[in-house]
Structure 1
Amino acid sequence: MAGRDRLRELLDAVLDEQHTSLEEMAGGAFASPYHFSRQLSAGAGEPPVAMRRRVMLERAAWQLRGGASVTDAAFAAGYDSVEGFSRAFARAFGHPPSEPGAGGHWLPAPNGIHFHPPTSLWVHTGEHTMTQPLDLLVHHDLDDTRELIDLAKQLPDADYRRELRPGQLVSAWEGAEPSIAAVLERTVFTKEVWLAAILGEEHPADRADTPADLVRRHDDVAPRWLETVRDLGRRDAWDDRIVDALCDPPESFVVGSILADVLTFAAHRRLTVRAMLRDLGHETDEGDPITWLRRRSGGTP
């Protein structure tokens, strides 16, 4: 057909209110789910399920800023429960839907395609897509840590706290981490303490917890950490310095090096926990971000 815009047809199928699954999107574009996913991923650089989820969350953020209730925004975005919507929103934006956050309603996108009120799309040609890998690294770290804590909840307490690796050091200045409990607690605590340093808050308590307590701590710090990283990126503040008065004596740190430190040691700790779980006879995945992204996107990108 002359003048036919196939990519626009695919996008229309993704965002149609009646299309809530990959099969329905593909049917709306008169394609099989396989070819629909391949065509859209090739043309827009983002799988259809992931794009719809992101754009619907952007629309929800705009609606909330306009006074919509969390419940209304949740069901309009296609979620079956407010709780599920709230968790997805907090992971994406770095703050719960009940609280205002910094910045606008756009989320990082590999293609510049965003929700534009009231019912349109905006294609932002100046989008800096190289922020996407960083965003994925931070998201993967947070999601993977939560998944490992959930696995740890299934362990007997004796195995959770067993010193499988006596004297094990991940970072010399943080002390020994001989057990799964110690490694996971340090993974969460590291974000708590660096967030306090960046935001000028009081030093968090260093404490041992049950896995259930650790879940609560992680779920509190994760969205705040994500929002802070996003804000630093928006302000291009990676070369800024902070003087951390929590250190004795106070010490100066480059902001970008703080994020690199957190991601480096968190990745090492997550792999260490997997190895310790295997030592106890439990099967685990490899913690591969490629596999994680495929699951999160609802299919193979």
Structure 2
Amino acid sequence: MTNGRDRLRELLDVVLDEDNATLGEMAQDAYVSPYHFTRQFSRGTGEPPVAMRRRVLLERAAWKLSTGATVTDVAFEAGYDSVEGFSRAFSRAFGYPPSATRPGTNRNWLPSANGVHFHPPMSLWVENTAKDRPDMDPTSLLLHHDLDDTRALLRLAADLDEEQYRRTRTAEVILTWDGPDDSIASVLDNLIWAKEVWLAAIDGADTPRHEPADLPTLTRRLDDIAPRWLNTVREIDRRGGWGDTLIDALCDPPESFVLGSVIAHVLTYSAHRRQRARQWLRGELPGDPAEHDDGDPIMWLRRRDRA
């Protein structure tokens, strides 16, 4: 789904590979010594590799049992030499024998310090055990990604000449009241102006001026609106105001909008505009298009967390 190496995921894959039943086989598959493999894996997960493999395979066994698989089949799939040995290990881990597993149970997770668990049918789920990532709320993530991605597009546009920047490229109009989105210049301007005009409506301020701007001016406008936009949305969320109704006197005649729909509106059309600008910029900038950022929140978050 995405490009880029994920070393922790590679180590997890080695540990859970069906052919790697022993520490030596895991280490050999990872091209390191058993000592270094154990050290590297334990540092990344807080759990020794053999212990994690045993735990995750027991979680998988519980899921298989809940789907109607027999204890015998599940025992050997989990790597046990006998049904009796599997039953003892399962009972110690879950507190009840395999035969007592309830049908239809989706999550049979054992205690884990790292939050790594089996996820059917053949994948992993990494639980946020600390619950310390409020920025992973999708609204918060999309708001921050939108602003960062807009900045990235402004930086890319700085490499264009004036003709490339302002050239009319399409007659299509995205939103009538925002004006044309027919050039890189107009699309980048509307990315910022949409937030300015909605923030004015929320604050009860006058409609901001909307006129062509050069890149330095757009950058200054983005720097000004970004913290105000984020603070406004945080305040709406803090007081549980997503369902509040805004009576926008800037419209003629005045019109009402639910605040949650306003934020969704801005994010929806912002994503569309950013991808339109990105496509046009790719056509103007040298190099392989695959080398340019796709504007994917997954990759943006991954880069941010590594910074």
Which category of TM-score, normalised to the shorter sequence, fits these structures?
A: 0.5 to 0.7
Unaligned runs of 5+ in 2: 1-37, 48-111, 116-127
2:237 is the counterpart of 1:233: yes
The alpha carbon displacement at 1:199 in A equals 1.1
Q: 1:39 to 1:163 in 2, by over 3 A?
A: farther
CA shift, 1:110, in A, is 8.3
Q: Which amino acid is 1:196 matched to? A: A
Q: Does 1:248 align with 2:252?
A: yes
Distance 2:150 2:204 in 1: 25
Q: 1:285 aligns with which of 293, 296, 300?
A: 293
The question of whether the paired residues in 1 share the 8 Å contact of 2:154 and 2:188 is answered with: yes
- CA 1:43/1:153 → structure 2, altered by over 3 Å: closer, same or farther? farther
- What is aligned with 2:169? 164
Alignment partners' CA distance in 1, 2:235 and 2:163: 41
Change (3 A) 1:285 1:250: same
Q: Distance in 2 between matches of 1:217 and 1:162?
A: 22
- SS of 2:241's partner is coil
Equivalent residue for 2:276, pick from 272, 276, 281? 272
What percent identity do the matched residue pairs reach? 46
- Find out whether 1:176 has 2:184 as its counterpart: no
Aligned residues: 191
The 2-side partners of 1:140 and 1:148 are apart by 12
> Runs of at least 4 residues of structure 1 off by over 4 A?
37-40, 42-45
Pairing 1:203–2:211 present: no
Rg (Cα) greater in structure: 2
Give the equivalent residue in structure 2 for 1:150.
155
Residue 239 of structure 1 aligns to a residue whose secondary structure is: coil
| Change in 2 beyond 3 A, CA 1:130/1:220 | closer
Q: CA deviation at 1:183?
A: 0.2
Where does 1:5-84 land on structure 2 (aligned, <5 Å)? 32=40, 36-39=43-46, 43=113
TM-score (norm 1): 0.58
Structure with more contact order per residue of length (Cα contacts < 8 Å, sep ≥ 6): 1
Q: Which AA in structure 2 matches 1:140?
A: H
Distance 1:197 1:110, change over 3 A: farther
**1:218 corresponds to which residue?**
222
**Where does residue 303 of structure 2 map in the other structure?**
295
Partner amino acid, structure 1, of 2:161: P
- 1:164 partner amino acid: R
What is the rounded CA distance, in whole Å, between the counterparts of 2:129 and 2:138 in structure 1?
A: 9
Q: Deviations over 1:164-204 (max 9, x none)?
A: 22x12111332321100000000000000001111111211
- Structure 2 vs 1, CA of residues 234 and 243 (structure 1 numbering), >3 Å: closer, same or farther? same
Residues 26-57 of structure 1, C-alpha deviation per residue, up to 9 Å, x if partnerless?
xxxx954x7544459x8577xxxxxxxxxxxx
How far does residue 134 in structure 1 lie from its aligned partner after superposition?
Answer: 1.3
Partner of 1:139: 144
- The CA distance in 2 between the partners of 1:131 and 1:113, in whole Å, is 9
Deviation at 1:285, TM superposition (A): 1.7
Against the structure 1 CA distance between its residues 37 and 278, is the aligned structure 2 distance closer, same or farther, given a 3 Å change threshold?
same
TM-score (norm 2): 0.57
Distance 1:131 1:277, change over 3 A: closer
Query: Aligned in 2, Cα 1:38/1:215: closer, same or farther, shift over 3 Å?
Result: farther
CA RMSD of aligned residues (A): 2.7
8 Å CA contact 1:110–1:132 kept in 2: the answer is no
Q: What CA distance in whole angstroms lies between the structure 1 residues aligned with 2:135 and 2:172?
A: 36
